[in-house]
Structure 1
Amino acid sequence: MTTTADVVRLRPPMNRVSPRALWYWAARAAVLWIVLLVPQVIWWFADGDGARTPHLIVGVVWLVLAAVHMAVMPQWRYRVHRWEATETAVYTQSGWLNQERRIAPISRVQTVDSERGPIEQLFKLTSVTVTTASAAGPIKIDGLAAKDADQLVADLTVRVGETTGDAT
């Protein structure tokens, strides 16, 4: 007899997120860097007739860091972020500096939710959250095409409804 422990094991998930996630992550990073630009502009005007060299140095550092972050981070995340839902489990891999790989047996899934924030809607993306009884918290899959996310939620809802018992 095959048990869930025999079938479910930690492994890399098979599916990539949507390629539009690259633009979504870059846009979120751009918002962050624009927010960080505001204090610099205030400092520039509050300093009045002060020396401009410190402003230029900080501005150049800001520009280089922003450009590198917005160019590198989305590519890196896209290479790392993966997901998969099988008959027995949901697998995810996410992060860019801190990378995490998680698995949730279908028998442990309590809820499946989807969310589309304003920036995600602009890029036609959706996040899916799979909540389990795990102390590690829910599994979140960011950057899915809306169509793929809707299909995933529907499939998981059916699988969870068909599951009997609990893997505890």
Structure 2
Amino acid sequence: MRGEDTVRLRPPRNAVDERAVAWWRSRLLAGTAAPVAVLAALGAFLGPARPWLLLAAGAVAALGLACTAVLPSWWFRVHRWEVTDEAVYVRTGALWQEWRIAPMSRIQTVDTVRGPLEQTFRLATVTVTTASSKGAIRIGGLDHELAADLAERLTALTRATPGDAT
């Protein structure tokens, strides 16, 4: 039975940047193009296996295009993040949703990463490392200026929070 003062976990308030949808689509297209190109090239050179290789290339291309059309918009709707004075909250996942909470006292490092595609879309990923065996918490798809401000804020908050981050 729930008491009157029970605290319920609520969804984090912030969505990733809308440009993350295009970034995710680009990543999915690149990930689809590579195996399709290999299968098509093999099909061009291996006569006896040509029909099967080209069929496989078409199937991979169709699946990749379907994923590219559907998944990024879905991810945008479910990926959420928030930073409070006490913790970093992240919710990710479409079918299997994962909620991660990192108390400020447990944060060890805060990093900002901008890969080539992220730079193209003016996005960045903030990585919050803790002593958790689950690994770091990543907030991808953030505007690069917001990510820099967030890293600065997290650094200040963790410095001001008592604890040993272990």
Partner of 1:104: 102
**% same residue:** 46
| Deviation, structure 1 residue 135 | 1.5
**Which string of whole-angstrom CA distances, capped at 9 and with x for unpartnered residues, describes residues 3-56 of structure 1?**
xxx9x87431100000000000000111111111122212221233x5865455
* 2:139 aligned to which of 116, 138, 141: 141
Q: Deviations over 1:132-164 (max 9, x none)?
A: 111111111111011111111111111111112
The CA deviation at 1:166 is: 4.5
Instruction: Output the CA distance in 2 between the equivalents of 1:10 and 1:58.
Output: 45
Residues 46-65 of structure 1 aligned to structure 2 (within 5 Å): 46-48=45-47, 50=48, 53-54=51-52, 57-65=55-63
- What is the match of residue 127 of structure 1? 125
Kept in 2: contact 1:10–1:103 (CA 8 A)? no
Q: RMSD of aligned C-alpha atoms?
A: 2.4
Report the counterpart of residue 3 of structure 1 in structure 2: none
Superimposed CA distance per residue, residues 111-152 of structure 1 (whole angstroms, 9 cap, x where no aligned partner): 111000111101100000111111111111111011111111
Aligned equivalents of 2:27 and 2:100: distance in 1? Answer: 24
Distance 2:144 2:86 in 1: 23
Count the aligned residue pairs: 162
**Quick one: which of 64, 78, 81 aligns to 1:80?**
78
Q: Could you say which residue in structure 1 is the equivalent of 2:64?
A: 66
> Does the 8 Å contact 1:87/1:159 carry over to 2?
yes
Contact (CA 8 Å) 1:22, 1:75: kept in 2 or not? yes
**In the aligned structure 2, how far is the partner of 1:103 from the partner of 1:42?**
46
- The normalised TM-score by structure 2 is 0.87
SS class of match (2:85) = coil
Corresponding letter in the other structure for 1:46: F
Secondary structure (helix, strand or coil) at the match of 1:93 reads: strand
Task: Quote the Cα distance in structure 2 between the aligned partners of 1:63 and 1:165.
Answer: 50
| Residues 1:118 and 2:138 aligned together | no
Letter in 2 for 1:147: E
CA distance in 2, matches of 1:157, 1:136: 21
